[in-house]
Amino acid sequence: MDGYKPPLQHAELTDVIDLALWAGQLLLQHGAESARIEETVHHIGTGLGCDWMDVIVHSQGLYITAISGEEFRTKVRRVARLGVNFDIIDAVNHISRKVYDGKVDRFELRKQLEAISTMPHCYNRWAIALGVGVACAAFSRLFGGDLAVMFVTLFASSVAMIVRQELTNRYFNNFLIVVTTAAVAGIFASVAELLHMSDTPQIAMAAAVLLLVPGVPLINAAEDILHGNIGTGVARGVFGAVVTLGIALGLSIAIRITGVGL
């Protein structure tokens, strides 16, 4: 019969749900929206022989039920966010489509997921810090800053990014990382006014903290709410609001220390 799927054995079903959960975990860890996670997990499960996959995405974990014939398996996994990495999201999406089309079996999928999990960053930390600095400096120019403000912003945001990387590697609290990074960026950016380098020194302080703006979580929050994932969308929105509060608190500390105001 066309479209008929023979029921998976218990061990096979267990392996399939483990692989689907692994793929969903990678997506949630690295900033994918809920609809993308649900679609990818469903593609992997049904592509590997399941009749259906029930997927619930939570801000801190995944709930998945894999169904095949009269057998079903349900698993829950708590997931910690590791930051945004579109390379990993793209790689998982790409392999899920191959699974759905029947071009990759579960043994090859496991190898691919292991490779994706250990995928190195495209750029080293110094290139990332410099790139962040250039981006913030460009924004300062768009805000009306002069060349002096641009160079101060470049330096301040690059140093702040290095501080952020160091604190992240040492597993500091996320809110503390945001506050500390914003304070460092604000302190170094205040040089533009302390040394009377520009007529618009306040722009440097405003632009130097743009590296912390939670753009992806806020966009995902809006998409989740529009797609009906209210709980996850609200949780991500609150996270974005907390990060914004941390930026404001860090800048307040910098202003208090240097005496320079926006």
Q: Is residue 104 part of a domain?
A: yes
Helices (H), 7-117: 10-29, 34-47, 86-100, 106-117
Give the angle subtended at the CA of 85 by the CAs of 79 and 91, to the nearest 5°.
95
Domain that holds residue 145: 125-258
Give the span between the Cα atoms of 52 and 126, in whole angstroms: 45
Residues ≥6 apart with Cβ < 8 Å to 228: none
Quick count: other Cβ atoms within 10 Å of Cβ 195? 11
What is the Cα gyration radius of the chain? Answer: 23
Q: In terms of domains, do 224 and 103 share one?
A: no
Q: Can you name the residues that pair with 74 across neighbouring β-strands?
A: 65
Could you say which of 117, 141, 168 is where a domain stops?
A: 117
Q: In the chain, pLDDT over 70 holds for what percent of residues?
A: 98
Higher-confidence residue: 3 or 113? Answer: 113
Could you say which of 117, 134, 153 is where a domain stops?
A: 117
Distance set, CA 26 to CA 247, 249, 258 (Å): 27, 31, 42
3-state secondary structure at position 219: helix
Least confidently predicted of 16-20, 72-76, 80-84, 142-146: 80-84
The reported pLDDT for the residue numbered 119 is: 87
The 10s digit of each residue's pLDDT in 46-74 is: 999 999 999 999 888 999 999 998 888 99
Domain tally for the chain?
A: 2
Using 50, 70 and 90 to split pLDDT, how confident is the model at 1? very low
Q: In terms of domains, do 94 and 70 share one?
A: yes
Q: Is residue 47 part of a domain?
A: yes
Q: In terms of domains, do 136 and 246 share one?
A: yes
Helices (H), the chain: 10-29, 34-47, 86-100, 106-117, 125-142, 147-169, 174-189, 191-194, 202-208, 215-226, 230-258
Q: In terms of domains, do 113 and 130 share one?
A: no
**What mean pLDDT is predicted for residues 111-116?**
96
Is the pLDDT at 3 greater than 90, yes or no? no
Is the pLDDT at 95 greater than 80, yes or no? yes
Could you say which of 99, 117, 135 is where a domain stops?
A: 117
Give the span between the Cα atoms of 132 and 158, in whole angstroms: 6
The reported pLDDT for the residue numbered 244 is: 94
The 10s digit of each residue's pLDDT in 176-185 is: 999 999 999 9
Q: In terms of domains, do 143 and 66 share one?
A: no
Q: Can you name the residues that pair with 64 across neighbouring β-strands?
A: 55, 75
Is the pLDDT at 2 greater than 60, yes or no? no
